[in-house]
């Protein structure tokens, strides 16, 4: 890269167009993040801006930004189902890579099934079609543990197994995975995906998922409230601290093409815990904290999902490894929510 910079400083674009074409093609990475104001998008935008430069990461969301993302880089209001809108931004900024994070999560999707299907599927088609038409080079699209259903094995759920998702969200993610693999096989689209577990973060709250309790519990503990959990105490689910999820996302996108052998979506394992276990990890630091249980409609969703995930393929293919334990995560969450 440095040698190339040196050569470029020595020669003019008109005289050496080939070298400039090489540079444009191979070195320039302009990233578009769709759904950048959400739980994953906010932290991913910040991390990618650090890595690739503020101006090279365009954050977009359906909502106006409150200053968080627009203060140090480009921000545009964009609806993920507006194909022309996405295309205009892709052309305007000469976007190469798209991270599509806009989606309706499991609990909200049960309330608005058609809106969820429309958003989750059409946003994906918009981006896959731009890649198919070679307007962009690479796509990241998140799938979820929700692709598994009541008939899937619960423990150490394999990469490939029975998948009969019983939620609107899970059905949309399962269909999306099939389309990603299809666009890769038939049109050569470089799409990469991971099946996120429930994600825990302190900067931006999650919006409308079944695993959201594992974020809310920390907020209530810090406020000095007792926590009423909407899942039963023994409901074990796959979870992950946000830093690990962001690192996984960047790692899979940076991996050489040949190492990405699965083009539907990779299983990804971090932590597995139930409400009692997270409660106990908090209580060690806040002894007066109490919890009670009042399961609602989200219990049925949680019951249909795995307890733990086998992520051998992600480990073998692109070197995935989880770092943060439940105890470490609790310490980080409590410290940062206190500040
Ligand atoms: N966190 C998501 C949800 O609960 C699962 O992917 O909907």
Give 143-158 pLDDT, tens digit per residue. 999 999 999 999 999 9
Ligand 1 pocket mutation, candidates 103, 104, 105, criterion most atoms within 8 A of CB: 105
The CATH-assigned architecture of domain 2-202+234-272+302-338 is 3-Layer(aba) Sandwich (3.40)
The minimum-distance atom of ligand 1 relative to the CA of 107 is 7
The whole-number average pLDDT for the span 196-200 is 98
Mean pLDDT of the chain: 94
285-327 pLDDT tens trace? 999 999 999 999 999 999 999 999 999 999 999 999 999 999 9
- CB of 35 closer than 6 angstroms to any ligand 1 atom: no
The minimum-distance atom of ligand 1 relative to the CA of 305 is 5
What is the CA(221)–ligand 1 centre distance, in A?
Answer: 22
What is the CA(283)–ligand 1 centre distance, in A?
Answer: 25
Residue 242 — φ and ψ, nearest 5°? -55, -35
What is the CA(7)–ligand 1 centre distance, in A?
Answer: 49
Return the HEC string of the chain. CHHHHHHHHHCCCCCCHHHHHHHHHHCCCCEEEECCCCHHHHHHHHHHHHHHCHHHEEEEECCCCCCCCCCCCCEEECCCCCHHHHHHHHHHHCCCEEEECCCCCHHHHHHCHHHHHHHHHHHHHHHHHHHHCCCCCEEECCEEHHHCCCCCCCCCECCCCCCCCCCHHHHHHHHHHHHHHHHHHHHCCEEECEEECEEECCCCCCCCCCCCHHHHHHHHHHHCCCEEECCCCCCCEEEEEHHHHHHHHHHHHHCCHHHCCCCCCEECCCEEECHHHHHHHHHCCCCCCCEEECCCCHHHHHHCCCCCECCHHHHHHHCCCCCCCHHHHHHHHHHHHHC
Residue 115: pLDDT band (50, 70, 90) is: very high
State the pLDDT at residue 28: 86
| pLDDT over 80 at 1, yes or no | no
Does 16 qualify as catalytic in the annotation? no
Ligand 1 pocket mutation, candidates 38, 39, 212, criterion most atoms within 8 A of CB: 212
The whole-number average pLDDT for the span 210-237 is 97
What is the CA(242)–ligand 1 centre distance, in A?
Answer: 13
8-22 pLDDT tens trace? 555 444 455 444 444
- CB of 230 closer than 6 angstroms to any ligand 1 atom: no
Residue 206: pLDDT band (50, 70, 90) is: confident
Domain spans of the chain, in order of start:
2-202+234-272+302-338
Instruction: Give the lowest-confidence range in 2-6, 42-46, 79-83, 130-134.
Output: 2-6
- CB of 174 closer than 6 angstroms to any ligand 1 atom: no
**Residue whose CA is at the smallest distance from ligand 1 atom 5:** 198
**Catalytic residue among 18, 93, 169, 266, which?**
169
- CB of 167 closer than 6 angstroms to any ligand 1 atom: no
What is this structure's pTM? 0.92
The minimum-distance atom of ligand 1 relative to the CA of 105 is 7
| pLDDT over 90 at 73, yes or no | yes
């Amino acid at each position: 890269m440095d040698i190339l910079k040196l050569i470029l400083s020595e020669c003019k674009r008109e005289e050496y167009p080939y070298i400039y074409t090489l540079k444009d093609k191979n070195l320039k990475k302009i990233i578009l993040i769709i759904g950048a104001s959400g739980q994953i998008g906010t932290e991913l935008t910040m991390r990618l801006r650090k890595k690739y430069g503020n101006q090279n990461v365009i954050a977009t969301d359906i909502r106006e930004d409150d200053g968080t993302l627009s203060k140090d880089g480009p921000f545009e209001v964009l609806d993920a189902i507006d194909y022309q809108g996405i295309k205009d931004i892709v052309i305007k900024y000469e976007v190469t890579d798209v991270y599509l994070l806009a989606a309706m999560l499991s609990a909200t999707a049960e309330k608005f099934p058609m809106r969820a299907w429309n958003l989750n599927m059409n946003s994906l088609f918009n981006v896959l079609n731009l890649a198919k038409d070679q307007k962009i080079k690479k796509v990241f699209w998140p799938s979820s543990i929700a692709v598994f259903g009541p008939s899937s094995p619960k423990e150490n759920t394999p990469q490939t197994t029975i998948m009969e998702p019983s939620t609107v969200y899970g059905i949309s993610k399962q269909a999306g995975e099939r389309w990603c693999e299809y666009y890769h096989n038939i049109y050569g689209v470089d799409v990469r995906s991971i099946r996120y577990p429930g994600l825990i973060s302190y900067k931006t709250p999650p919006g409308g998922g079944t695993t959201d309790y594992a974020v809310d519990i920390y907020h209530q503990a810090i406020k000095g409230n007792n926590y009423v959990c909407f899942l039963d105490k023994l409901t074990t689910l796959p979870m992950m601290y946000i830093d690990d999820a962001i690192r996984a996302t960047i790692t899979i996108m940076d991996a050489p093409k040949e190492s990405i052998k699965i083009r539907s979506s990779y299983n990804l394992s971090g932590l597995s815990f139930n409400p009692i276990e997270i409660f106990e990890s908090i209580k060690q630091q806040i002894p007066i904290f109490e919890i009670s249980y009042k399961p609602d409609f989200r219990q049925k969703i949680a019951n249909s999902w795995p307890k733990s995930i086998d992520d051998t393929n992600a480990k073998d293919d692109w070197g995935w490894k989880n770092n943060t334990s439940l105890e470490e995560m609790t310490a980080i969450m409590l410290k940062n929510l206190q500040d």
